[in-house]
Amino acid sequence: MHSGRSYKLTEFLMWTRRDIYILTVLAIIPTILYAGLDIKWVGITWVPVALLGTAAAFIAGFRNNATYARAWEARQIWGAIVNTSRSWGVMSRDFVSKPGASSEELKQIHKDLVYRHIAWLTALRFQLREKRTWENMDKSYNIEYLKYFTVDEWVNKLEDELKEYLSAEEFNYVLKKKNRATQIIALQSAHLKRLADDGFIENNRYVELELLLKDLYDSQGKCERIKNYPYPRQFATINTLFIWLFIFMVPFGMVKEFDKLGNGMAWLTIPFSVIVMWVFTSLERVGESTENPFEGSANDVPITALSRTIEIDLREMLDETDLPAALQPVNSILT
């Protein structure tokens, strides 16, 4: 997530400069043919270009609106995870008690419930950062931009981070599973049942805690739906085709219009075509970079930072003082 006021123009130009190179070549060739070599038939009327541009604008607007909806839904889901996590911390601390139980025993139970929840957050964010074939982080412009920030889940290992929050037995059990986040919640439920059987949780409170686990499963499932179901490929494909077909035609239509002004004005086709074409390719690039809100780009939901915020809140509920620092933006990027 970009946490600054806006992207700098230099950043945006750097991000799209390869497109600008291609667009400049596409603008130069028809202009040289028309104005330099006097091959007038390459110039076409502006009407079909304008019609195609209208269609391209509609489809680009549709895609950007749809991909923004995916990103905003992802942020809402993680907002719900934050709220449910805080409720889990308070309720697991205050609902778990038993007359005659020592304070040390109760503190250990509370810690186990809270730390296991942090383990769930850790497993979930690592799963959401896994690569999918339709994601875009392996494209050259995104790879290059990664020099401005790092993605924690790509430089660290899940195994190293889970060790801090799970017992050795649970750690070994979870690592054998495919969907580790799912199994960690299952471990939470099993632990709650044992506590209820042993009299540490009253029946109505036990039900409330299980409902929180259900809410967490719901949030996890919503994240997995966005992660595992891409923006429909047919819409993504037609958007790219329309945009680039329009871009290819722009200089052929614009050169004839500028030539009507006389006095060598046809050469203005090059800068103005590049500007028009750059607007459309940038719209496509923005839509593409918003499609997958968990892949780890500079425009994604900062699930690592949100997980750290939750961890700090929950561990403070346990009256711990040795807390990790909140994650700060690096070059205005928060992951």
pLDDT at position 262: 82
182 lies in some domain: yes
pLDDT at position 150: 85
Are the C-beta atoms of 63 and 235 separated by less than 8 Å? yes
The ranges of the chain with pLDDT < 50 are: none
Look at phi and psi of residue 187 and say left if phi exceeds 0, alpha if psi is from -120 to 50, else beta: alpha
Q: Determine the Cα–Cα distance for residues 316 and 77; give it in Å rounded to an integer.
A: 23
3 lies in some domain: no
- Six-digit token pair at 70? 């995916």
Are the C-beta atoms of 294 and 226 separated by less than 8 Å? yes
Q: CA nearest 242: which of 69, 51, 66?
A: 51
Who contacts 41 (Cβ-Cβ below 8 Å, separation ≥6)? none
275 lies in some domain: yes
pLDDT at position 329: 87
Q: Determine the Cα–Cα distance for residues 307 and 326; give it in Å rounded to an integer.
A: 10
- Six-digit token pair at 24? 């400049």
- Summarize pLDDT for 247-296 with one digit per residue, the tens: 999 999 999 888 888 888 889 999 999 999 999 999 888 888 889 999 98
2 lies in some domain: no
100 lies in some domain: yes
**33 is in which domain, residue-wise?**
9-317
The amino acid present at 304, given as its one-letter code, is T
325 lies in some domain: no
Who contacts 294 (Cβ-Cβ below 8 Å, separation ≥6)? 74, 128, 129, 223, 226, 227, 300, 301, 303
- Six-digit token pair at 180? 């580790």
Our count of domains for the chain comes to 1
- Summarize pLDDT for 116-138 with one digit per residue, the tens: 999 999 999 999 999 998 888 88
pLDDT at position 332: 81
User: Bridge-partner residues for 330, per DSSP?
Assistant: 333
Helix, coil or strand: residue 223:
helix
